[in-house]
């Protein structure tokens, strides 16, 4: 759970740092910084926070890449297709790509940090 807390905090810090510099960047890096970086890093934080809650409530975590992909596709559907009914936002399918890539990056980071494979089942 400590790893998830650390990943969530680092992701949030990087999102805040990006807010300070994103309009100073140009080209492809500028577009990514303005449009997709928060979605990508926020997805890492989101999966980490979901895993903290899952561990506390269910004594399980999402480790399998395909479960994380489904989680992020569901979250992307809610944020991109249902939120416009609640407040003024625009739907961007590339945001969903950023969500999924962030979720997969979470899985990769866990693999690197713990030196284990992203599991094929929900861990107990």
**One-letter-per-residue 3-state SS of 31-63:** HHHHHCHHHHHHHHHHHHHHHHHHHHHHCCECC
Residue spans of the domains in the chain: they are 2-114
Which class for 111: exposed (0-12), middle (13-18), buried (19 or more C-beta within 10 A)?
A: middle
Q: What is the chain's mean pLDDT, rounded?
A: 88
Name the nearest CA neighbour of 4 among 40, 54, 78, 39: 54
Torsional sign, CA 106, 111, 117, 121: negative
For residue 123, pLDDT over 70 is answered with no
- Taking only the tens place, the pLDDT of each residue in 48-102 is 999 999 999 988 888 888 999 999 999 999 988 888 788 877 788 899 999 999 9
For residues 99 and 112, which has the higher predicted lDDT (pLDDT)? 99
For residue 122, pLDDT over 70 is answered with no
What is the pLDDT, as a whole number, of residue 85?
83
C-alpha dist (Å) from residue 113 to 2, 5, 55, 106: 12, 13, 18, 10
**pLDDT category of residue 121 using cuts at 50, 70 and 90:** very low
Q: How many CB atoms lie within 10 A of CB 44?
A: 26
């Amino acid at each position: 759970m400590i790893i998830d807390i650390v990943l969530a905090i680092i992701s949030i810090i990087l999102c805040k740092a990006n807010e300070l510099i994103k309009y100073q960047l140009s080209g492809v890096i500028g577009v990514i910084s303005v449009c997709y970086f928060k979605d990508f890093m926020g997805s890492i934080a989101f999966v980490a926070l979901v895993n903290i809650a899952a561990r506390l409530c269910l004594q399980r975590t999402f480790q399998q890449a395909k479960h994380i992909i489904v989680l992020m596709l569901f979250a992307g559907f809610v944020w991109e297709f249902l939120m416009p009914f609640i407040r003024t936002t625009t739907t961007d399918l590339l945001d969903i790509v950023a969500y999924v890539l962030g979720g997969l990056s979470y899985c990769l980071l866990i693999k690197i940090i713990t030196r284990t494979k992203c599991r094929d089942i929900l861990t107990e």
